[in-house]
Structure 1
Amino acid sequence: GRRQVLTSVAAGQVLRLKYEDAGQYSGLHVSSAEEPLLQAATGQNGLEFVHRESPFNDFLQQPLLPHSFSRPGPGLAVGDLNGDGLEDVFIGGAKGQAGRLFFQQSGGSFESRGLAEGVEAEDVDALIFDANQDGANDLYVVSGGSEFPAGDKGYQDRLYVNDGKGGLRLAPEALPDMPASGSCVAAADLDGDGDLDLFVGGRVEPGQYPLPPRSYLLRNEGGVFSDVTAEVAPGLQRIGMVTDAAWAGPWLVLVGEWMAVTVFRNDNGRLVREDNEALANSKGWWYSLAGGDFDEDGDTDFLLGNLGQNASFKPSPSEPVRIYADDFDNNGSIDAVMSYYIQGVESPVHSRDMLFSQIPGLEKKYPRYGLYAEATLEQLFKKEALKKAYVLECNTFQSGYLENLGNGGFALRPLPLACQLAPVAAIACADFNQDGHLDALLAGNDHTPEVNTGRYDASVGQLLVGDGQGAFSPVGPMQSGFWVEGEVRGLQLSRKGDTGRYWILVAVNNDTLRIFEGGRQESKRNNTSI
């Protein structure tokens, strides 16, 4: 066949294209001799798990939510739990579903064991690390979602202490009271005493969106953790709706919903927020981040997953998407009203029926759809009411590459268009094509936006090949071998014994765990320096 590409085509004209003027098109054909970089391996090694989401309708409590918060899992973690030198796997369950442990055997297969305690919680993230410095890795599980009322004990995180042989015991005495819906956990030695302290991100305050939930900084004191957020990092307590976090040397990098990319610096055991002009216009609906030295200058850079550009909203610094939160009708509940710009005028995002289901009093003012269609946000709500509200905004939905410039400086630029088709909720980094440079796999989707928006489901996963200088080239699924539909919530690599190959584990909400195999030699792993 033939193909012709026209760019920067002006409107208001008729184009006549001739087939014979087009160039030859080879398409996406892959020769039979050319194997994809990754091979599908689901169901081949004993790593079999089906995540079963429990039904829950977030919109009954807050009709104006932009999307659901009750489907954040499953969490996924990799590490050696039984001390045999092989990497084991934890996969979290949904509310009412037990998570499972998978212990790798010498031949690369896995044997599974249930994690009975903590079944009621929604497992949204996990970390395998040595909490008490006894030489055996323990398991930290973050509880999240929105199916419990705010402050419910169902949001309490859990630490499972290892007996040295892979037996895990729930240790409620090791954690403080943390009744907040969480999103992520990241470990670093904050106070320089040789053990790992924890940052735990807060995701949402159920029933009070978009008010900021509690996040926690936990100091490790011999395997018992205490909440030192107010003492060490008061600005972190309610920093926002955090979705992901990672350490890069002394810097803690956070992303979240309605948040700018945020950086804190460890200043002798205290976390101080860094002001960075380059990140001032980075407020987005961020889903994920992953670190690696993509430009090979010796420090940690980041890939950041955002909502993407395949959405009805196109925010910019001059015309952001905003949300105003207050009890506008004085009925005791939070009303979260979103706006966007239409021809330079700030207008409500919500349909008339949707907005009036939350604030019925407006119906008398706008009895007809035509009147509502012409109303601006300031006509719907008085300027004084909007000024009094809690206001958040987004000015970019582009997924991006955050280059670490050193000394706390960062520069953000968008990823290729192939990465902007849907939300990027999970990222894994390794040298997938074995050229000596770090690459990345990205996946995501979100099936639970409010009904007028429809599903964000255009992604089947994306391989980005890095050049070692901070630039990336997208590789299609026929060449990469990576194709995953559904709501991906986690990506992890697990070494396949000492073969130099690895499993790529893909955690999909309300679906089967997907597995791919890759690697010909020891690959660069996604290890962020701490």
Structure 2
Amino acid sequence: NSVNGPALVYRNDATAPRLAVRLKGKPPNTRGVGAKIRVLGGPVPQSQEMICGGRYLSGDDFIRVFAAGHETNVLTIEVTWRSGQRSIVKVARANRLYEIDENVAQAIQHPKSRPPNPPTLFNDVSALLKHLHHEEDFDDFARQPLLTRKMSQSGPGVSWCDVDRDGFDDLLISSGRGGRTGAFRNNGRGGFEAFSGARFDAPEDRDQTAAIGTPHTLVVGSSNYEDGLVSGHAARSYSLSATNVFDDLPPQPSSTGPLALGDVNGDGELDLFVGGRVVPGRYPEPASSLLFRGARGKWILDTEASNVLKRVGLVTSAVFSDIDGDGAVDLVLASEWGPIRLFRNQSGKLVPWPPGLFSTPRNPNISFLSQLTGLWNSVAVGDFDGDGRMDIVAGNGGENTSYQSFLRQPLHAYFGDFNGDGVFDVLEAGFDSSSGKIVPLRDSLVVVRGLPQLAARFPTYEGYGKASAREIVGTPTGVQELTVNTLQSMLFLNRGTNFEARPLPLEAQLSAVFGIGVADFNGDGDDDLLLAQNFFGVDGMTSRGDGGRGALLHGNGNGTFRTVSSRESGIAIHGEGRGVAVCDYDGDGRVDVCVGQNGAPTKLYHNEHAAPGLRVRLKGLPGNPQGIGAQLRPVFANKTLGAARQIHAGSGWLSQDSAVQVFGSRATIDSLSVRWPDGKSTISKVPPGAKEIEIETSGALQVRR
């Protein structure tokens, strides 16, 4: 039926053999609506469902037609009725209409019931917290109309930290503006109760970012992205040995993002990295990050290191780890519209380090890690091939987006004040093979709303469609450009002076990866990954990223992973996963995990079926009592070494894992080798039957259980 025209009737004159089926159902469903029809023996197996309506203001005849292939083919028709009964026509011929009556259908013989599914590795115990992340809506697009994603929906971060210093790690979950920090005391018996007091009861006037801490100090990031004011504080520092709060981290033009602690200068006190996430109203202009030196409970700005970190990029994640194996912690950063950046620690100074890269078949011209640019969200470290060197795992934007079809060549982001109106503009673009040009990824209606002057320059869709991105941007001064050449979440295996890039399994690519939990979740001695996924804060022309459910990847010990189904793992996270933090919170030798969701309930998973491992605490020096930055490695009876493990404070997406390590193993651990943050090494004999031990800097070992 044509709009404002006569109806059109078309006769099908095709002569290929076919078969038609009409159903005669039991009243009142006499047409068999909802029945499924399957035809076998034709060119391919075919199936259709009998429907009523379902077209645009229209409905079909109640006949279903199937291809017969050849006139001599003997066909089988199977009808599964809504009642659960089945009709079968075993010798059907081409070019015939078969009417099948439900009254003579037979009941389906169901197979014997399947055995119940085995118990899952994790049990969802989120009801122990009953926590909902608070997120106030903010219109990012009013300030920058050409943004494609929100910066204001970043939280929450998740951290395990012994706030009350009773020996049990407590749980902290950052809040959005107007909400309160989720602070839960671990009662040591597998349960939690909310903390109360001035530290956590007051509503937050800004979005919190990461919360990281030691037995002495808790630092919580504070983002000025929404108000854009260079006032207040970049982070709030709490003394855990007293009740005072001191705001001694000054405000910065760049909004605070990730936080990380590490002893950079080797003085025995932890230093603080404050990542610059974005310059408010000027996305994606590179932001500046800062380093503060720890000095007896105070934070002193390290101007030399901060100059190195000036305009380092849109930093989304940070971790201190000894990547080059020299005993000093290096700095690893993830950045959006940028690379994974490494800063080598040379005599207490951070120096940019571009290690080599190989095994990137999609990017054969890339030979350095700094050349592999992405929409990187997160970084974490672990020894995934058991060679004693720290490998890097990085979460990216994923391959299940509209960007992917343009990645035969790099994506581009042009940014600046294109029309001199004081609004910072950004135009994303990609290579169009039909025109051979770099063209905008968004249609003219969207772009013209942000750049009204384009309506006069490109009055027709055709003119806009033929223009390159550079022609649309024009030639204003100060226009800058960033590129992205991969959206794969990846593992970078440490080969000494180079890294080997390996994409993570398919399930990790179905949506953007944010939080990364690294632990031996099944207790087999090989570190695994738990990834938090999804992002919904997109503009009206972009599909939200909701293809992930939280991916559990079991490590094979050789740099490869096996995806674990949610039926086996018990992990199912359908919202916007953000921070991931791991901790054996009930002390049973199995690693549990907490996952934050933006504007949704926090997920807590209790590990119930892993093989129990050995719990290990370090007792460090007064300025670093948990031994942050130390590397541990199990030694077996045959003198072989297991995979290395480093203790860190801050990694993944705005999160912090427990400093208590759990070592699973296929063999009995004979001793533990520890390289302490000051470079000193010790080897401690593990008594048979020990479940939890504490090791001092001298190597002395105490059995706690």
Q: TM-score range by the shorter chain?
A: 0.7 to 0.9
Counterpart residue number, 2:79: none
Which deviates further from its counterpart, 310-319 or 61-70? 310-319
Which deviates further from its counterpart, 30-39 or 178-187? 30-39
2: CA distance, partners of 1:351 / 1:71:
25
Counterpart residue number, 2:240: 162
CA deviation profile, 1:452-482 (whole Å, cap 9, x unmatched):
1120011011111111111111111111111
Counterpart residue number, 1:41: 125
Counterpart residue number, 1:24: none
Whether the 8 Å CA contact 1:30–1:478 is kept in 2: the answer is no
Counterpart residue number, 2:38: none
2: CA distance, partners of 1:67 / 1:477:
29
Q: 2:453 aligns with which of 342, 358, 361?
A: 361
Counterpart residue number, 1:377: 469
Mark the CA change 1:365 to 1:30 in structure 2 (over 3 Å): closer, same or farther. Answer: farther
Per-residue deviation, 1:372: 1.6
Per-residue deviation, 1:409: 2.9
Which deviates further from its counterpart, 520-529 or 193-202? 520-529
* Structure 2 SS opposite 1:314: helix
1: CA distance, partners of 2:473 / 2:345:
43
Counterpart residue number, 2:637: none
Consecutive unaligned residues in structure 2, runs of 5 or more: 1-41, 47-74, 76-112, 323-328, 358-368, 617-644, 649-676, 678-705
2:217 counterpart of 1:138? yes
Alignment of 1:15-54 (within 5 A): 16-17=43-44, 31-32=115-116, 34-43=118-127, 45=128, 47-54=129-136
Counterpart residue number, 2:283: 209
Q: 1:481 aligns with which of 554, 570, 586?
A: 570
Per-residue deviation, 1:187: 1.0
CA deviation profile, 1:166-186 (whole Å, cap 9, x unmatched):
x6531114x344453121111
Q: 1:329 aligns with which of 419, 430, 441?
A: 419
Per-residue deviation, 1:121: 2.0
Q: 2:587 aligns with which of 498, 502, 522?
A: 498
Counterpart residue number, 2:479: 389
Mark the CA change 1:381 to 1:81 in structure 2 (over 3 Å): closer, same or farther. Answer: closer
Counterpart residue number, 2:548: 459
2: CA distance, partners of 1:117 / 1:405:
48
Per-residue deviation, 1:410: 2.2
1: CA distance, partners of 2:595 / 2:614:
18
Counterpart residue number, 1:244: 317
Per-residue deviation, 1:492: 1.1
Whether the 8 Å CA contact 2:356–2:498 is kept in 1: the answer is no
The letter of the residue matching 1:512 is P
Q: 2:410 aligns with which of 306, 312, 320?
A: 320
* Structure 2 SS opposite 1:448: coil
2:85 counterpart of 1:85? no
Counterpart residue number, 2:206: 121
2: CA distance, partners of 1:16 / 1:195:
73
2: CA distance, partners of 1:39 / 1:227:
44
Whether the 8 Å CA contact 2:152–2:225 is kept in 1: the answer is yes
CA deviation profile, 1:203-257 (whole Å, cap 9, x unmatched):
11111111122211111111111121x4135231210000001122132111110
Per-residue deviation, 1:520: 4.1
Counterpart residue number, 1:432: 521
Mark the CA change 1:16 to 1:69 in structure 2 (over 3 Å): closer, same or farther. Answer: farther
1: CA distance, partners of 2:646 / 2:176:
27
Mark the CA change 1:409 to 1:432 in structure 2 (over 3 Å): closer, same or farther. Answer: same
1: CA distance, partners of 2:230 / 2:224:
12
Normalising by structure 1, what TM-score? 0.87
Consecutive unaligned residues in structure 1, runs of 5 or more: 1-14, 21-28, 130-135
How many pairs were matched up?
A: 491
Whether the 8 Å CA contact 1:189–1:197 is kept in 2: the answer is yes
Alignment of 1:225-374 (within 5 A): 225-228=299-302, 230-249=303-322, 250-278=329-357, 279-314=369-404, 319-343=409-433, 344-374=436-466
Report the structure number with the largest CA radius of gyration.
Answer: 2
1: CA distance, partners of 2:252 / 2:340:
25
Alignment of 1:160-199 (within 5 A): 160-163=238-241, 168-173=243-248, 175-178=249-252, 180-199=254-273
CA deviation profile, 1:295-316 (whole Å, cap 9, x unmatched):
1111211211100000111278
The letter of the residue matching 2:400 is N
Counterpart residue number, 2:366: none
Which deviates further from its counterpart, 189-198 or 316-325? 316-325
The letter of the residue matching 1:57 is D
Identity %: 32
Normalising by structure 2, what TM-score? 0.66
* Structure 2 SS opposite 1:479: helix
Whether the 8 Å CA contact 1:506–1:515 is kept in 2: the answer is yes
CA deviation profile, 1:52-110 (whole Å, cap 9, x unmatched):
21011100110111200111111211021222211111111110111032111131111
RMSD, aligned α-carbons: 2.4
Counterpart residue number, 1:26: none
Q: 2:144 aligns with which of 62, 71, 80?
A: 62
Whether the 8 Å CA contact 1:431–1:523 is kept in 2: the answer is no
Whether the 8 Å CA contact 2:523–2:590 is kept in 1: the answer is no
CA deviation profile, 1:251-301 (whole Å, cap 9, x unmatched):
211111011111100111111101234214420001112211111111211
Mark the CA change 1:81 to 1:30 in structure 2 (over 3 Å): closer, same or farther. Answer: farther
Whether the 8 Å CA contact 1:289–1:303 is kept in 2: the answer is yes
* Structure 1 SS opposite 2:389: coil
1: CA distance, partners of 2:114 / 2:159:
34
* Structure of greater relative contact order (alpha carbons < 8 Å, 6+ residues apart): 1
CA deviation profile, 1:319-360 (whole Å, cap 9, x unmatched):
111111122211222211111111132001122122112211
Mark the CA change 1:523 to 1:491 in structure 2 (over 3 Å): closer, same or farther. Answer: farther
Q: 2:190 aligns with which of 98, 108, 121?
A: 108
Per-residue deviation, 1:498: 2.6
Whether the 8 Å CA contact 2:356–2:499 is kept in 1: the answer is no
* Structure 2 SS opposite 1:82: coil
Per-residue deviation, 1:524: 8.3
The letter of the residue matching 2:284 is P
2: CA distance, partners of 1:140 / 1:345:
48
* Structure 1 SS opposite 2:141: helix
* Structure 1 SS opposite 2:331: strand
The letter of the residue matching 2:479 is A
